[in-house]
Amino acid sequence: MIKINDAINPADLKKKLQKFWELSGEKIRLIQREYDEAQGSPVFTVDGKYSTRGWTEWTQGFQYGSAILQYDVTNETEFLETARKKTIAVMAPHVSHTGVHDHGFNNVSTYGNLLRLMKERKIPANEWEKNFYELALKISGAVQASRWTSLPSGGFIHSFNGAHSLFVDTIRTCRALVLSHGLGHVFQGEGDKKIDLLQRAVQHMEATAQYAIFYGEGRDSYDVRGRTAHESIFNVKDGNFRCPNSQQGYSGFTTWTRGLAWAMCGYAEQLEWLRSCEASLFERVGGKEYIEKFMMKAAKATCDFYIEHSPIDGIPYWDTGAPMLHRIKDYLNKPADPYNDYEPVDSSAAAIAAQGLFRMGNLLKQSDDGASKRYWQAGLTVMDTLLSEPYLSTTSKHHGLILHSIYHRPNGWDYIPSGSKIPNGESSMWGDYHAREAALYLHRIIGKEKYYAFFNCLS
């Protein structure tokens, strides 16, 4: 269980954050100089150098989005101009990509962040540029919503595995639908039938909460509250749920911690968006109170599970049921060991989870049940660890910013350095990006700037 530091506050991390952003800029420049983009999107490092993996191009938005976040903090225009040029030059195929569930990753991280900066007056207003970003976000949300599997009680955006497959990751892609709807877009199907983007976003959130998250009650009475399944499998002929599964975790009955972190972050930020909206908007999709109830239940359960099933420094192992964890004696009661002989940690899960913990802490700050402080201080504890070695990459030769991330353990895609028995010492594009997002979140809190939220690009 995380040993939550109740004494630490955001200002205590100011020097660490300054060092983080200095290193972040160096890493972005290093990748620009040394990575051959003709290979495809950079995904994860191999012996310190970013490489690609031909599964799907789901990390390109994180590459250019990182430059946008860097500019947001440092005001160094080189990063903004690079991101603008690359977004225009190479991101269009991601907007029209019908074959993936990753629009929230690629397109909100680029077009969304650029529009947000304009709305926040961090870059000059330009009507044509604004319209360009808005159009991309409108189309992206509609294209994403077209990957739809209907259920008797709703439906979900299915993963690239097919119509039977619901990934827990996709909760963070609901941002694409929310933004498209918020920008006033009308999604039309056959015969000009209007398809409700808001309804599809809410139904996906509800399906994920119902089938991908366990609550230790009812159908899940045999299981542990807050556990998540990476993939949920359905019979596409009758819409019935069949079983939990996992592509990147150990099994459908263990918890892949990056999937857990996606749920934490995804529900927390959607709750923030929900609270920013008028109740009348949700009358046709179940009502604001009903939606907040199931999302809050999912968010609290996953945050609690993360705190209770991570080592004391807040860095989780890649799966809470990984088969050799028992060989690491008392692993939950000591700091995570990325150099052990049995199971790898996943720092990228920690970077994603930290943001979820921060947002949940902020959401609940008016409550008196202690949950707000617990989540907020847990987030600070995790970030304090991530902003320090051995997780912060300080060498000038390594492309990565946050070390000890893994990609796909079951497929054997992760690099195992000489002399080690498990993957360690490497970075991922999503881990580096989400560490930057969490660091930007704290930067704005410390500087008393506008609260950082994805839907800032709407107003």
Could you give the count of Cα atoms lying within 13 Å of 137 in the half-sphere of its Cβ?
Answer: 30
Could you give the count of Cα atoms lying within 13 Å of 310 in the half-sphere of its Cβ?
Answer: 33
pLDDT, tens digit, for every residue of 91-134?
Answer: 999 999 999 999 999 999 999 999 999 999 999 999 999 999 99
> Tokens 């690009």 correspond to what residue?
457
- The dihedral sign for the CA sequence 320, 326, 331, 337: negative
In the predicted structure, residue 359 carries a pLDDT above the cut 90: yes
How does residue 366 score in pLDDT terms, banded at 50, 70 and 90? Answer: confident
In the predicted structure, residue 367 carries a pLDDT above the cut 90: no
Tokens, residue 211: 């089938």
Tokens, residue 434: 């989400």
Closest by CA to 225, choosing from 281, 269, 263, is: 263
Task: State how far the Cα of 216 lies from the Cα of 49, in Å rounded to an integer.
Answer: 43
Residue 441 near residue 387, CB atoms below 8 Å? no
Task: State how far the Cα of 123 lies from the Cα of 115, in Å rounded to an integer.
Answer: 9
Tokens, residue 6: 């109740």
pLDDT, tens digit, for every residue of 201-212?
Answer: 999 999 999 999
Element (H, E) at 148: strand 148-151
**Model pLDDT, residue 231:** 98
pLDDT, tens digit, for every residue of 140-193?
Answer: 999 999 999 999 999 999 999 999 999 999 999 999 999 999 999 999 999 999
In the predicted structure, residue 323 carries a pLDDT above the cut 80: yes
Q: What is the pTM of this model?
A: 0.98
pLDDT, tens digit, for every residue of 37-50?
Answer: 989 999 999 999 99
Q: Give the ranges where 190-346 is alpha helix by DSSP (H).
A: 197-211, 257-276, 288-308
How does residue 307 score in pLDDT terms, banded at 50, 70 and 90? Answer: very high
In the predicted structure, residue 54 carries a pLDDT above the cut 90: no
Q: Which residues of 369-393 are buried (b: 16+ CB within 10 A; e: fewer)?
A: eebbebbbbbbbbbbbbbbeebbbb
> Tokens 């998540």 correspond to what residue?
228
Could you give the count of Cα atoms lying within 13 Å of 167 in the half-sphere of its Cβ?
Answer: 22
In the chain, what are the domains? 10-458 (1.50.10.10)
In the predicted structure, residue 369 carries a pLDDT above the cut 90: no
Task: State how far the Cα of 99 lies from the Cα of 426, in Å rounded to an integer.
Answer: 28
Neighbour count for residue 294 (Cβ, 10 Å): 18
Residue 422 backbone zone (phi > 0: left; psi -120 to 50: alpha; other: beta): beta
Residue 264 near residue 352, CB atoms below 8 Å? yes
In the predicted structure, residue 452 carries a pLDDT above the cut 80: yes
* Rg (alpha carbons) of the chain, rounded to whole number: 20
How does residue 55 score in pLDDT terms, banded at 50, 70 and 90? Answer: confident
